């Protein structure tokens, strides 16, 4: 990978510039400084990458590699990720502006993801089916889809990529990935790792560039069998429409408006600490961020006062500032969006308890936004219903369990949510009633690669991680083998 001479398209096993020589400068959101220059791929580059991926798939070197060996390869990727963790984490921190410790944690999670799919690569060999005829061998086998178009966002660039790359390779597919144009570097590094470890030429391709130029080719090209996308709802809808024209398989991981429900019997200190973590970790730039606090009215005043006090003391800083507890937003444009979102929430009646500003003169170099609490929100406040995608917690209160559930489900999204209570029965009832793809009881944020991740309602289609995460990249084929062929007699000879 040669970022500084901008030959960052990885197509058919070779690094190349964009066909028109275009480049883009990547800026660190924490400092405003230039991080590097990458190629700005064009539609023609994307088509070239799809052609390479198709050739590689048709050639079969990877898809015919025994699944257990594909798994071994992914285990080697996991080991290499461990070896190069510092380099990868630094690149991720520079592109995203997130704190180095958070980027390091992401790298551990990425290695775990490759390890998990490495281990289960050969776990889905298919099954025999009783056809009701002893002469028939009927079996269902799972085959790769073909060329996968993978499109990823800027908040967890390589983590989201690994949730797609690892199962796509485990299943025997080839792929073209388009990372967010804002955060491409770690996706380029992983391509380097895959290549160095000997993945056959053309199986993995990376085209850096915009959604409109590169992404749109992946979602519309007839040789792409599947699109897996992580990003915003509006983009997800556009991708679903585009992919429908060639009837592609699609997997969509979209946004969330995630409730964090606090019952009065909850462990107070743990619930408070985790409410901060839920909403402000990574500046709230987490699809599953618990930004919708729903707290029982009997403890709401104290809980929110304490939350505001703690939020006010959160230290913001750039990726390598060891005193920092949270980082910046991704860009100036994104900060403008969060500013507008908070202003609209306040205009609709929310009470601004803290934040609501960029954080003072010392934060002018990066795109910071101070941790913000919007209290006394009504359900229809736009700040409650929209995904703000920033460090902004809205507060609503409830009286009864039924009301808490109704509020938590009153959203078009359904990605994740949490319930805090020490009562087992309440925890069980509420966790089953929440219409969200992941529910935490007395915790917030942990996920494990063995368990499915994905959204109910408008938070997405399909699942990543877990056995379903592998199945997304496979298609079932029924093979009906009659070992004693016979005349059917349906159309007798005249
Ligand atoms: P985005 O939708 O703006 O962009 C995501 C990717 O799509 C980028 O690579 C972009 O270039 C590409 N893209 C844009 N338009 C396209 C088009 N027309 N065709 C094809 N590709 C196109 O999202 P973002 O701002 O980068 O990321 C933030 C969003 O991602 C948030 O809504 C967040 O909730 C969501 N997200 C969801 C999950 C999850 O697991 N559900 C995880 C992380 C982020």
In terms of domains, do 200 and 321 share one? Answer: no
Count other C-beta atoms under 10 Å from residue 452's C-beta.
16
Q: Is the dihedral of CA 364, 369, 371, 376 positive or negative?
A: positive
Judged by average pLDDT, the poorest of 4-8, 239-243, 281-285 is 4-8
pLDDT tops 60 at residue 238: yes
The answer to whether residue 488 is domain-embedded is no
Q: Which atom of ligand 1 is nearest to the CA of 255?
A: 34
DSSP E strands in 243-282: the ranges are 249-253, 259-262
pLDDT at 124: 87
In terms of domains, do 411 and 467 share one? Answer: no
pLDDT at 2: 44
Residues 6+ apart with CB under 8 A from 137: 128, 131, 479, 481, 483
In terms of domains, do 341 and 390 share one? Answer: yes
Residues with CB under 6 A from ligand 1: 151-156, 160, 178, 180-181, 210-212, 215-216, 219, 230-232, 235, 238-239, 253-256, 287, 387, 389, 415, 455, 460
The predicted-structure confidence for 391-410, as pLDDT tens digits, reads as follows 999 999 999 999 999 999 99
Q: What is the mean pLDDT of the segment spanning 422-438?
A: 98
| Cα-to-centroid distance, 127 and ligand 1 (Å) | 36
Q: What is the mean pLDDT of the segment spanning 406-416?
A: 98
Q: What is the mean pLDDT of the segment spanning 430-448?
A: 98
Which of 148, 208, 231, 331 is the best mutation target for the ligand 1 pocket, counting ligand atoms within 8 Å of the beta carbon and taking the most? 231
In terms of domains, do 421 and 395 share one? Answer: yes
Nearest CA to ligand 1 atom 16: 211
The predicted-structure confidence for 335-360, as pLDDT tens digits, reads as follows 999 999 999 999 999 999 999 999 88
Whole-model pTM over 0.85:
yes
Residue 398: which CATH number?
3.40.309.10
In terms of domains, do 420 and 464 share one? Answer: no
In terms of domains, do 339 and 371 share one? Answer: yes
**Backbone φ, ψ for residue 469 (5° rounding):** -65, -30
Q: What is the mean pLDDT of the segment spanning 74-99?
A: 98
The predicted-structure confidence for 186-215, as pLDDT tens digits, reads as follows 999 999 999 999 999 999 999 999 999 999
pLDDT at 363: 82
Could you give the CA distance from residue 183 to residue 97 in angstroms, rounded to a whole number? 10
In terms of domains, do 77 and 173 share one? Answer: yes
Q: Which atom of ligand 1 is nearest to the CA of 464?
A: 40
Give the residue numbers annotated as catalytic, written as ranges: 253, 287
The answer to whether residue 243 is domain-embedded is yes
Angle at the Cα of 214 from the Cα atoms of 210 and 217, rounded to 5 degrees:
145
**CB 165 within 8 Å of CB 469:** no
pLDDT at 3: 52
In terms of domains, do 243 and 267 share one? Answer: no
Give me the percent of the chain exceeding a pLDDT of 90. Answer: 97
Please identify which residue in the block is written with the tokens 């992914």. 74
Could you give the CA distance from residue 370 to residue 358 in angstroms, rounded to a whole number? 6
Nearest CA to ligand 1 atom 14: 211
Angle at the Cα of 104 from the Cα atoms of 98 and 106, rounded to 5 degrees:
80
In terms of domains, do 337 and 418 share one? Answer: yes
Q: Which atom of ligand 1 is nearest to the CA of 460?
A: 41
Q: How many domains does the chain have?
A: 2
Residue 250: which CATH number?
3.40.605.10
In terms of domains, do 102 and 160 share one? Answer: yes
In terms of domains, do 349 and 285 share one? Answer: yes
Count other C-beta atoms under 10 Å from residue 61's C-beta.
14
Which of 43, 106, 153 is the best mutation target for the ligand 1 pocket, counting ligand atoms within 8 Å of the beta carbon and taking the most? 153
Distances (CA, A) of 429 to 278, 402, 434, 439: 22, 10, 9, 12
Q: Which atom of ligand 1 is nearest to the CA of 232?
A: 32
Nearest CA to ligand 1 atom 35: 231
Which of 148, 159, 232 is the best mutation target for the ligand 1 pocket, counting ligand atoms within 8 Å of the beta carbon and taking the most? 232
Note down the domain range covering 65.
9-254+459-479
The predicted-structure confidence for 257-294, as pLDDT tens digits, reads as follows 999 999 999 999 999 999 999 999 999 999 999 999 99
3-state secondary structure of 282: helix
In terms of domains, do 271 and 416 share one? Answer: yes
pLDDT class for 5, splitting at 50, 70, 90? low
Residue whose C-alpha is closest to residue 419's, from 290, 284, 281, 279:
290
């Amino acid at each position: 990978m040669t970022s500084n001479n901008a030959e960052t398209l990885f197509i058919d096993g070779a690094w190349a510039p964009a066909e028109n020589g275009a480049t883009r400068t990547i800026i660190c959101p924490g400092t405003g400084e230039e991080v590097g220059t990458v190629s700005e791929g064009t539609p023609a580059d994307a088509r070239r990458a799809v052609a390479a991926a198709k050739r590689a798939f048709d050639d079969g070197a990877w898809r015919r590699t025994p699944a257990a060996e594909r798994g071994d390869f992914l285990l080697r990727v996991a080991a290499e990720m461990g070896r190069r963790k510092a380099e990868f984490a630094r690149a991720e921190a520079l592109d995203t502006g997130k704190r180095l410790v958070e980027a390091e944690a992401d790298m551990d999670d990425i290695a775990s993801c490759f390890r998990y799919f490495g281990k289960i690569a050969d776990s889905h060999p298919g099954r025999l089916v009783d056809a009701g005829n002893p002469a028939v061998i009927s079996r269902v086998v799972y085959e790769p889809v073909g060329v996968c178009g993978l499109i990823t966002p800027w908040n967890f660039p390589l983590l989201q990529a690994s949730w797609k790359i690892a199962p796509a390779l485990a299943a025997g597919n080839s792929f073209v990935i388009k990372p967010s144009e804002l955060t491409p570097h770690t996706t380029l590094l992983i391509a380097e790792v895959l290549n160095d470890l000997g993945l056959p030429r053309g199986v993995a391709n990376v085209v850096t560039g915009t959604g409109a130029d590169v992404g749109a080719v992946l979602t519309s090209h007839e040789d792409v069998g599947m699109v897996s996308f992580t990003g915003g709802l509006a983009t997800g809808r556009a991708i679903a429409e585009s992919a429908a024209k060639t009837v592609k398989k699609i997997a969509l991981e979209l946004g969330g408006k995630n409730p964090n429900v606090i019952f009065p019997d909850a462990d107070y200190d743990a619930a408070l600490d985790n409410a901060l973590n839920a909403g402000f970790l990574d500046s709230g730039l987490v699809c599953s961020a618990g930004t919708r606090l729903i707290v029982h009215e009997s403890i709401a005043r104290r809980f929110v006062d304490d939350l505001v006090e703690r939020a006010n003391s959160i230290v913001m800083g750039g990726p390598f500032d060891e005193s920092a507890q949270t980082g910046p937003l991704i860009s100036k444009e994104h900060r403008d969006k969060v500013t507008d979102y908070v202003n609209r929430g306040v205009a609709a009646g929310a009470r601004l308890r803290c934040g609501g500003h960029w954080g003072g003169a010392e934060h002018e170099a990066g795109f910071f936004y101070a941790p913000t609490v919007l209290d006394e929100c009504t359900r229809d406040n736009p700040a409650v219903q929209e995904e703000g995608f920033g460090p902004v917690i809205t507060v609503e209160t409830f009286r009864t369990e039924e009301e808490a559930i109704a509020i938590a489900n009153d959203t078009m999204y359904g990605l994740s949510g949490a319930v805090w209570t020490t009562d087992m029965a309440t925890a069980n009832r509420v966790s089953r009633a929440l219409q969200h793809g992941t529910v935490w009881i007395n915790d917030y944020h942990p996920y494990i690669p063995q368990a499915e991740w994905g959204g109910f309602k408008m938070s997405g289609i399909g699942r990543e991680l877990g056995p379903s995460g592998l199945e997304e990249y496979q298609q079932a084929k029924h093979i009906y083998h009659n070992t004693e062929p016979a005349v059917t007699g349906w159309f007798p000879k005249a």
